[in-house]
Amino acid sequence: MGGARVLEYGIPYKRLPSQERFHKSGARFKGFSGPVGSGKSQALCQEAIKLSTLNKGRTGLIGAPTYPMLRDATIPALLEVLERSQIPYEFNRGENHLVFKGSRSKILFRAVEEFERLRGSNLAWFGVDELTYTSEDAWLRLEGRLRDPQATRLCGFGVWTPKGYDWVYERFVAKQIEGYETILAQPFENRFLLDQIPDYYERLRHSYDARFYEQEVLGSYLHMKVGRVYHAFDRAGNVGDSTAPWLKEMMITDGKDFESTVGFALDQFCLIGYELPFPQSTRRAVRVHR
């Protein structure tokens, strides 16, 4: 559990329960799925430092879907941990890599589009932030690079917020692939965040629609796109009952007492059937335009 303690790597880090399970997993490929703010990037940085320490003098890689995400979120989070822990390093901005002064272990920082150019390099480990925004091809390319013969602990891992039933869900959650293990963080688990911003998730609940809240804040896997172009589109709220006219049409074709009319609007048309006779008080024009 996340009691106060200092890791052997010299880093003060009280692990949250899911972070603890993630770090402890000895799987060759492992994943950490969780809501926004559940400590995924933090877990990624801590795991990266741990693997750099275990694989002394070897090279690992931290990846992200885009270079700006790497530059503005993932790298600063890692440097912040290193500064706080007073771990000496050299950061080469031009080459986008970091070398630990003590162990000479190296971390390459690469955006997904650069993975292709890794040809020939052997990695001891790799970790990808926001994996659901990358392609399975990119992940498989990294898997192919995980073959440093001098590595002590080969490991590839990813952290992500669920994004429906995509390739990440298939590979890490649905299928029980040999050598894979996935930890699902719980909603509201990150007490460090909630201590600082108690209404963080409450505010998101007001800004997000219900399904997006379920995905981003509760960390649930949902059908976000399948079946509807836009998941927030609510048939009941946005259009009238579409089945009734067609049920009525069926009754017309069955020869029931119906009068039908077809309405055109731009490239759409609608067939409406009215039961006859109209109630006494009903005028035809009113019914047609209703």
Ligand X SMILES: Nc1ncnc2c1ncn2[C@@H]1O[C@H](COP(=O)(O)OP(=O)(O)O)[C@@H](O)[C@H]1O
- What's the CA gap between 197 and 246, in Å, rounded? 52
59 binds ligand X (CB under 6 A): no
23 binds ligand X (CB under 6 A): no
Name the nearest CA neighbour of 61 among 182, 161, 148. 148
- Does residue 160 contact residue 131 with C-beta atoms inside 8 Å? yes
190 binds ligand X (CB under 6 A): yes
Contact segment (CB under 6 A) with ligand X among 39-47, 92-100, 114-122, 257-265 equals 39-47
Among 18, 41, 59, 134, binds ligand X (CB under 6 A): 41
Name which of ligand X, Mg ion, none residue 38 binds, using a CB cut-off of 5 to 8 Å depending on partner kind.
ligand X
273 binds ligand X (CB under 6 A): no
16 binds ligand X (CB under 6 A): yes
192 binds ligand X (CB under 6 A): yes
50 binds ligand X (CB under 6 A): no
Q: Which two tokens stand for residue 142?
A: 């990294």
Nearer to ligand X, 66 or 122 (CB): 66
Name which of Mg ion, ligand X, none residue 219 binds, using a CB cut-off of 5 to 8 Å depending on partner kind.
none
Give φ, ψ of 65 to 5 degrees. -60, -35
To ligand X, the closest distance from the beta carbon of 177 in angstroms equals 24
79 binds ligand X (CB under 6 A): no
Site string for ligand X, 138-167 (x = CB under 6 A): ------------------------------
The residues binding Mg ion (CB under 5 A) are: 40-41
Name which of Mg ion, ligand X, none residue 156 binds, using a CB cut-off of 5 to 8 Å depending on partner kind.
none
48 binds ligand X (CB under 6 A): no
Residue 31: strand pairing partners? 158, 182
The dihedral built from the CA positions of residue 166, 109, 44 and 25, taken in this order, carries a sign that is: positive
Q: Which two tokens stand for residue 85?
A: 């822990």
Strand 180-184 to 29-33 pairing: parallel
Give φ, ψ of 180 to 5 degrees. -105, 140
Beta strands in the chain (DSSP E): 29-33, 59-64, 89-92, 97-100, 106-111, 125-128, 155-160, 180-184, 258-265, 268-275
Contact segment (CB under 6 A) with ligand X among 31-39, 163-171, 207-215, 261-269 equals 31-39
- Does residue 216 contact residue 35 with C-beta atoms inside 8 Å? yes
111 binds ligand X (CB under 6 A): no
Instruction: Name the residues that contact ligand X, by CB under 6 A.
Output: 13-16, 19, 34, 36-42, 190, 192-193
